Amino acid sequence: MFCGDSILRQELGTLQTIQGDQARRLDSLATENAELQEKVKEANLERSLWEREAKKASPFLTSLRKALAKSEASLKLAQESQDRKIKSAFKHSNDHAKKVERLEEEVVTLTKALADRDHAYAELHAVATKHFEQLQESTRLLLGGDSQPLRHAKAVINSQRQVILR
């Protein structure tokens, strides 16, 4: 029995040691559980605060999103308007450039026509001057007599002189 008692006491000591270890472990787990429950309460409280703040901020965010969408739409419209204006300005610029080219061509044509006219006028003036000089010479030669044909010739010469000098 002695041996049986000693084994039992030894087992009892081991079991008491194990029980003490488990009791300490249980106390440690209970403390940890209490700490975790406190953290859960704090987390729930913080979550609740965040939810309230989110509800408060939700209309603000919604209005901000709406304002942002309106702003983006307005910007897009402004860009499209500016693009149209720029395209229109380029078209007008091209039209004006073509008009300037046509006017330059017209100026060249008119300048050439003026030069041709001036040249023709100079030739005509030279011919008229020469013809007039010949008529004057003929008149001087014929002025020696006083006949009807001579008076008629003088009248024609004077008439032509007036036409030429105009």
Average pLDDT by consecutive 10-residue portion of the chain (166 residues)? 77 90 90 93 92 82 85 90 91 91 93 92 87 78 66 81 80
Q: What is the tally of structural domains in the chain?
A: 1
Q: Residue 144 is which amino acid?
A: G
Q: Token digits for 19?
A: 């029980």
Looking up tokens 């720029």 gives: 86
Residues spanned by the domain of 110: 2-165
User: What is the distance between the alpha carbons of residues 146 and 151, in angstroms, rounded to a whole number?
Assistant: 7
pTM reported for the whole predicted model: 0.40
Q: To 10 degrees, the CA torsion angle through 72, 77, 81, 82?
A: 0
What's the confidence (pLDDT) of residue 144?
A: 60
